[in-house]
Structure 1
């Protein structure tokens, strides 16, 4: 019996020196039937040429023709569409995978859904972080089936740790520019009632380095932009076929719109209080959900009046800061 094909979707752009180590870890995967599909986003540092050379020596590597600069999301979307496996595993260019990552995720992936694992943090030299914040699970709450409202507010299902059933691609709308692809895939799967499985094991060395940080907005501005993205994403999701709990999504839209447009917003507070354990699920137990909900009693217009630098004027139809990620 033939082992089913699994696709590793590697998106690159000016990958630099880290790509060789990552590619070696992909080629060493113990799962016996993989393809490594590579979409390069107009690299100018020799990344594309190096990848083409590797493909000459390993038939599992398939490099897509290089096109004009598309950006982070569209590069991954293009890569996903070219994958031929029944399961797809997104891959960043600067990490390092455990050799049994594909095998373990494939065994745990629920039909029609997503599985994701924990990650270890490593520095630029590849050395692991030490201490209490050495894993992704030490800063983000992870479990099976996070609440839908929690996924609107945040995400712990990172693309580098994810594997999903190809069937999910058929139900996705075009990846919106307002959302990172991994967040949108997890959010859409949850909205459709698909299973989300957590494998409590670090199978990726997630490299943290200065070159990977492209957004330097303030913490407050990022929080505001996140709410705007969640608002727009809720509107898109509520209109998609197959979405469940449309009523809750519409209530969320109404609550956030009320908060942005009010001096004082009791309706927004009531919604956030009623759903506080779901909305702030990723924060628990670091921040009391009730304390977070109370912040929404005071509307954004009041915050803007009192602290205009930290709470700038915003338009609901636009994100407060541009999405940027490499």
Structure 2
């Protein structure tokens, strides 16, 4: 049976880098696949650019009200119709072979996550804590407690743009918890880790673009923000056990 892939993307004022990202995605996809884009009320030319692209695999949903990236990704996932759902940011670049790597990983797991490298240098992302390991290892895919402790400590490199999962998992992940207002990728990683569904892909599949408008913060957070994030992750761990 031929697998159908849905790429789920949230956009917001992403005109500057969006075309390069979409070109790298379409080069990977098969004719039966789709790209579902939900735009979060952009004020630049993002929607016009999307609507100018003549590719039957592209589905664009433009929203009049801004609701934030978490709810925008949630909507895109809910609109997807594929057997495998891949998340994508609006400003990175896919590495050739990404689709095949994820489909191979998802033959033996329900959720997969890969490593990333920096666009322009192909070097690994710098770790948030000096000296910490900031790579996913295939042999540690099912280390439930280790991986969850790393998520709680903020040193687990799970990024939504480098994750994919099967349709039946999407039905359990959605809707996102109502209190989830950041880090939807860590909700997915927590759910997969808690339920021993995760598989790590050691090869990088994304070239990540770092710039001032990234939704994921690149600078250290204050103590209050760190404590709030840790509390959120504990709540997500409990929620993952319920679903």
TM beyond 0.5: yes
Instruction: Decide which structure has the larger Cα Rg and report it.
Output: 1
1:97: which partner in 2?
Answer: 94
SS of equivalent to 2:201: strand
Shift of 1:96: 0.6
- Are the equivalent residues in 1 in contact too, given 2:136–2:201 (CA < 8 A)? no
Distance 1:178 1:66 in 2: 18
Say whether residues 1:166 and 2:167 are aligned partners.
Answer: yes
- Are the equivalent residues in 2 in contact too, given 1:158–1:183 (CA < 8 A)? yes
Shift of 1:64: 1.4
Taking the TM superposition and a 5 Å limit, the aligned residue runs for 1:244-323 are none
Distance 2:212 2:62 in 1: 29
Shift of 1:153: 2.4
- Are the equivalent residues in 2 in contact too, given 1:161–1:203 (CA < 8 A)? yes
Distance 2:117 2:17 in 1: 16
Say whether residues 1:207 and 2:209 are aligned partners.
Answer: yes
For structure 2, the residue ranges without an aligned partner over 5 or more in a row are 128-132
CA distance 1:82–1:210, change in 2 (3 Å) = same
For residues 217-275 of structure 1, what are the alpha-carbon distances to aligned partners after superposition, in whole Å with 9 as ceiling and x for unaligned? 7x461x542333222432353255546xxxxxxxxxxxxxxxxxxxxxxxxxxxxxxxx
Number of residue pairs matched by the alignment: 229
SS of equivalent to 2:13: coil
CA distance 1:111–1:86, change in 2 (3 Å) = farther
1:128: which partner in 2?
Answer: 121
CA distance 1:220–1:186, change in 2 (3 Å) = closer
Distance 1:62 1:239 in 2: 31
1:189: which partner in 2?
Answer: 192
SS of equivalent to 1:52: helix
2:200: which partner in 1?
Answer: 198
For residues 58-96 of structure 1, what are the alpha-carbon distances to aligned partners after superposition, in whole Å with 9 as ceiling and x for unaligned? 100011142310101001000000000111110010101
Shift of 1:19: 0.6
**Which aligned runs of 4 or more in structure 1 are off by greater than 6 angstroms?**
none
1:60: which partner in 2?
Answer: 57
Q: Which protein, 1 or 2, shows the higher relative CO under an 8 Å CA cutoff with sep ≥ 6?
A: 2
1:140: which partner in 2?
Answer: 134
Distance 1:112 1:104 in 2: 13
- Are the equivalent residues in 2 in contact too, given 1:110–1:197 (CA < 8 A)? no
2:130: which partner in 1?
Answer: none
CA distance 1:215–1:45, change in 2 (3 Å) = same
- Are the equivalent residues in 1 in contact too, given 2:115–2:204 (CA < 8 A)? yes
CA distance 1:234–1:168, change in 2 (3 Å) = same
